[in-house]
Structure 1
Amino acid sequence: MTVSVLVVDDSAFFRRRVTEILESNSQIKVIGSANDGRQAVEQAKSLRPDVITMDIEMPVMNGIDAVREIMRDAPCPILMFSSLTHEGATATLNALEAGAADFLPKKFEDVARNREEAVKTLQDRVIAIAAKPSIRRRPPARTTSPTPPPRSITPRESTRSRAFGDRTSTRSTIAREPAPREAPSTAAPVATERLTINRAYQVLAIGTSTGGPVALQKILTQLPQNFPYPIVMVQHMPAAFTKAFSQRLDGLCKIRVREAEDGDNLQPGVAYLAPGGKQMLVEGRAGAARLRIREDNSGRITYKPSVDLTFASLSKAYGGKVLGVILTGMGADGREGARMLKEQGATIWAQDEASCVVYGMPQAVASAGISTRSVSLNQMASALLTEVGYGD
């Protein structure tokens, strides 16, 4: 099957460059181009491409507005091109929330070690998102513009039990503490009136890639403020993006969300996002664990951050008291780390194929027999809260 592509950018040079790269793969055919967002909307309707590549800053209509209109009128997988700046990150996250499937830096070499790898990365992304026909039917995500300003993390009184105990006594009940703000959600509301802590776990770990920003937002915005475990998250994302992404989530969620820093002590009700371009490791022991953020210039590890490395370190620090979740993403990062966790007695879940943008990472753990449950993205938060111990 040949993947048909519409290339959208206000630079004629960049349109030619993208077209040449894509058509050097016999599986891809560029069927049209547009130099602004309005033309993109019109051509998306008339040409019905399998994939659209889209710039953000363009005349007449910008890429974000174009994505929103296309996903409303002629849904199609859209790959955004972004600058690696804080402003570029914010705009890209807005585009993903509007319905775009994935993004790449406009300088392809920023995600590859050489030109050949950069070319293959672009081609692989286009082919991967084209293989997801359900994107053509999904509505765009709820928009949140402007992005709420980031909040600083401050100590708060909490009714959380910090003595989690061992597996032999698995439940202790505490009342739900009041939440000071409402967290927006695109899924059905989850009942969280009382919390019965499941002592089988002491940390929630999530790994994801393509499609992950939207998936993480959908899950985290449904978690209550008194979520009883720390959350460790690895999202394949450039260094310039993770700070902006964590700030966005922190403004939307009842739990606290922050970009992880070296030496952070893991606290219940706080989600720690691995910084882009580095590795995040967990050291110590359950109840007294901390994060270590390390530079990685070895060239041996493809992903920075790597789900495998973070999950492997969790297996040493927490043993089997980990609930690990692998969400949508290309490749197989997370499979070996999840295997190490499972060998210690941890529980591993995977997002189901139907709700993934790319069923690569979840398929890797499912087909290897590592995950014990496949869960739809729409049901993931509810399933997590039930596993944790929330109920009516």
Structure 2
Amino acid sequence: MFDANRIEAVVIGASAGGVEALNHLLPVLPKTFAPPVLVVVHVRQGQPSLLPDLFSSRCELAIEEPFDKDMIVPGTVYFAPPGYHMLVEAEGGAAPSIALSIDPPVRFSRPSVDVLFESAAHAYGERLLGIVLSGANDDGARGARVICDAGGTCWAQDPETATAPAMPLAAIAEDAVHEVLTLDEMAMRLSQCIARQP
């Protein structure tokens, strides 16, 4: 059974069709939503990301494109900058922060969902929720497996509802998903179950 009260961070991976999926999830999160949300969307290299501006006008939560070493603030959505891997660092019991890397692409992608998921799993362990959304490759499946092995929870978008089902299907095939949910089901759980009291 999913225990929403223990979740301290949410990581989301998406590719083709992912912006539409995120538009079902992020705008419904209330101002009282506590966990930080870290998002990797595959975007074309060499182009600025329009995602922070797009979602800032639609969401109650703060939307950020972080800099290297930024502290991770509760109730904030972080979009990985184009051309950079986004990782979570939490060394020696320090508060988690963001690290940006120009290491080679992983699964042909930079930013990589796997890189974010794996680093967040090491930082948050069982307190992490990973979500794999629509996408046309298998990025995120291995990272989701790491989250599960660390005691965290993973959801995948129902492939039948995904514009590009390959990404959630890969996570499911990796046996790295606790539940397969529609976007409406995810939105309901996130908005109602993981909120701090005002």
Q: TM-score, normalised by structure 1?
A: 0.47
Q: State the alpha-carbon separation in 2 of the partners of residues 352 and 313 from structure 1.
A: 25
Q: How much does 1:263 deviate?
A: 1.3
Q: Is the 8 A contact 2:106 2:112 kept in 1?
A: no
Q: Is the 8 A contact 1:311 1:334 kept in 2?
A: yes
Corresponding position: 1:291 with 2:74: no
User: Which residue of 3, 20, 30 corresponds with 1:224?
Assistant: 30
Identity %: 32
Q: State the alpha-carbon separation in 2 of the partners of residues 314 and 378 from structure 1.
A: 25
User: Which residue of 102, 114, 118 corresponds with 1:308?
Assistant: 114
1:171-204 deviations in whole A, cap 9, x for unaligned? xxxxxxxxxxxxxxxxxxxxxxxxxxx4411101
- Which structure has more relative contact order (CA 8 Å, sep 6+)? It is 2
Corresponding position: 1:361 with 2:167: yes
Q: After the TM superposition, which residues 170-185 of structure 1 pair with which residues of structure 2 at under 5 Å, given as runs?
A: none
Q: State the alpha-carbon separation in 1 of the partners of residues 193 and 94 from structure 2.
A: 20
Corresponding position: 1:332 with 2:138: yes
Q: State the alpha-carbon separation in 1 of the partners of residues 59 and 147 from structure 2.
A: 28
**Equivalent residue of 2:19, what SS?**
helix
Structure 2 letter corresponding to 1:291: I
For 1:162, the equivalent position in structure 2 comes to: none
Corresponding position: 1:343 with 2:149: yes
Check 1:301–1:353 CA distance in 2 against 1; reply closer, same or farther (3 A cut): closer
For 1:234, the equivalent position in structure 2 comes to: 40
Aligned alpha-carbon RMSD (Å):
2.0
For 1:14, the equivalent position in structure 2 comes to: none
Q: State the alpha-carbon separation in 2 of the partners of residues 323 and 300 from structure 1.
A: 21
**Equivalent residue of 1:205, what SS?**
strand
**Equivalent residue of 1:220, what SS?**
helix
For 1:377, the equivalent position in structure 2 comes to: 183
**Equivalent residue of 1:378, what SS?**
helix
Q: Is the 8 A contact 1:247 1:258 kept in 2?
A: no
For 2:63, the equivalent position in structure 1 comes to: 257
Check 1:314–1:378 CA distance in 2 against 1; reply closer, same or farther (3 A cut): same
Q: How much does 1:301 deviate?
A: 4.8
Q: After the TM superposition, which residues 183-198 of structure 1 pair with which residues of structure 2 at under 5 Å, given as runs?
A: 198=4
Aligned residues: 193
**Equivalent residue of 2:6, what SS?**
coil
Q: State the alpha-carbon separation in 2 of the partners of residues 300 and 332 from structure 1.
A: 11
Check 1:300–1:382 CA distance in 2 against 1; reply closer, same or farther (3 A cut): closer
Query: For the pair shown, which has the larger CA radius of gyration, 1 or 2?
Result: 1
User: Which residue of 49, 65, 77 corresponds with 1:271?
Assistant: 77
**Equivalent residue of 1:303, what SS?**
coil
Q: State the alpha-carbon separation in 1 of the partners of residues 196 and 127 from structure 2.
A: 18
For 1:135, the equivalent position in structure 2 comes to: none
Q: Is the 8 A contact 1:241 1:276 kept in 2?
A: yes
Q: State the alpha-carbon separation in 1 of the partners of residues 145 and 130 from structure 2.
A: 10
Q: TM-score, normalised by structure 2?
A: 0.90
Check 1:372–1:234 CA distance in 2 against 1; reply closer, same or farther (3 A cut): same
Structure 2 runs not aligned, ≥5 long: none
Structure 2 letter corresponding to 1:336: R
Structure 1 letter corresponding to 2:67: E
Q: Is the 8 A contact 1:255 1:271 kept in 2?
A: yes
For 1:37, the equivalent position in structure 2 comes to: none
Q: State the alpha-carbon separation in 1 of the partners of residues 133 and 193 from structure 2.
A: 17
Check 1:218–1:279 CA distance in 2 against 1; reply closer, same or farther (3 A cut): same
Structure 1 runs not aligned, ≥5 long: 1-169, 171-197
